[in-house]
Amino acid sequence: MPKLSLLIEETAVVLRDIQLQQLPMLTQSKDWQSKYRLLMQLGKPLPAFDASLQRDDFLIAGCESKAWLLHEYHADSRRHYWSFDSEARIIKGLVVVALCQINGLTKDELVTIQFDQLFALQGVQQNLSPSRQNGLQAVLKQLCKQAGLAD
């Protein structure tokens, strides 16, 4: 029986915690300082990619900071899992926000998700620079591709 890699399992636990605890705090935070402070802390508990995982084939093209996305499909449960790392804290936090909403879902569940809304955080997304926006779009595209969805 194919098993998930340790990295993906560890990430899944962390993402669940974030979804339950930090995500509500993030949506409730009023001023930009607390929002960004939280966002930058979000990626911290995620297991970091070591040099062997910072591979070019995991690299997201179009990000202004280097960013790596790893995808695993669990055939038995038909669930999709991801892990992510980036040199930059804000992009990592934003992608974590997206991932904790979709990690461990089946394709049937994923088709009901509005991917373009995954980063929709009041007062964050609209304020991102054009290069950041492009990076996030590149991540979304890759997520959809890996999940076998049309982007």
Give the residue numbers annotated as catalytic, written as ranges. 63
Provide the minimum distance between the beta carbon of 128 and other proteins in the complex, in angstroms, as a whole number. 7
CA separation for the pair 147, 129 (Å, rounded): 27
Contact status, residue 98 vs residue 113, Cβ threshold 8 Å: no
CA trace torsion 46, 50, 54, 58 (10° rounding): -50
CB of 90 vs other proteins, minimal distance in Å: 5
Tokens 């088709």 map to which residue?
A: 111
State which of residues 4, 59, 88, 105 lies at the interface with other proteins (CB under 8 A): 88
Locus of tokens 């959809």: 144
Which CB atom, from 41 or from 146, has the smaller least distance to other proteins?
A: 41
Within 16-75, the residues that bind other proteins by CB under 8 A are 32-33, 36-37, 40, 64-66
- 8 Å CB contact between 46 and 83: yes
Judged by CB under 8 A, does residue 116 bind other proteins? no
Nearer to other proteins, 36 or 68 (CB): 36
- The reply on whether position 128 binds other proteins by CB under 8 A is yes
Distance CA 18, CA 42 (A): 7
59, 90, 110, 144: residue in contact with other proteins (rule CB under 8 A): 90
Residue from 151, 149, 146 nearest 73 by CA: 146
Size, binding site for other proteins by CB under 8 A: 18
Minimum CB distance to other proteins smaller for 62 or for 146: 62
CB of 62 to other proteins, least distance (A): 13
